[in-house]
């Protein structure tokens, strides 16, 4: 599932960031990567950049927050953010139950 923001009209934008959470006990995982794209019509998107997750917390218990950000100067009306990893990874207890992984966004900032 993609996260799409509607800015309710065209705006000058210099960058976008999103804070994502991870807590493997609650089946909440960082995405593999976050792609930042813009659109003028909500249907066709132009990629502005991406941030690949470095999984330093892959199997570590606890709650963690990671910021993903790209900078650019464009006019836009919509953005696409992050894609969920889908199912829990094979090493996770939820995998045996065909458990779906969650993707939680804490904050989205548009500059």
Q: Distance between CA atoms of 102 and 109, rounded to whole angstroms?
A: 21
What class is the 4-110 domain? Answer: mainly beta
Are the CB atoms for 5 and 79 separated by under 8 Å? yes
User: Measured at the alpha carbon of residue 15, what is the angle toward residues 6 and 52, in degrees to the nearest 5?
Assistant: 95
Taking only the tens of pLDDT, the chain with its 111 residues reads 577 888 888 889 999 999 999 999 999 998 888 889 988 887 888 999 999 887 665 788 899 999 999 999 988 888 766 778 888 888 888 988 888 889 898 888 989
Q: What pLDDT is recorded for position 83?
A: 76
Q: Distance between CA atoms of 72 and 81, rounded to whole angstroms?
A: 15
């Amino acid at each position: 599932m993609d996260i799409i923001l509607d800015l309710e009209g065209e705006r000058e934008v210099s960058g976008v960031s999103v804070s994502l959470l991870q807590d493997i006990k609650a089946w909440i995982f960082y995405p593999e990567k976050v792609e930042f794209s813009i659109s003028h019509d909500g249907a066709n998107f132009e990629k502005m950049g991406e941030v690949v997750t470095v999984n330093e917390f892959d199997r570590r218990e606890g709650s963690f927050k990671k910021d993903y950000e790209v900078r650019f100067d464009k006019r836009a009306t919509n953005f696409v953010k992050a894609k969920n990893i889908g199912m829990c990874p094979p090493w996770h207890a939820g995998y045996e139950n065909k458990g779906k992984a969650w993707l939680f966004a804490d904050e989205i900032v548009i500059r």
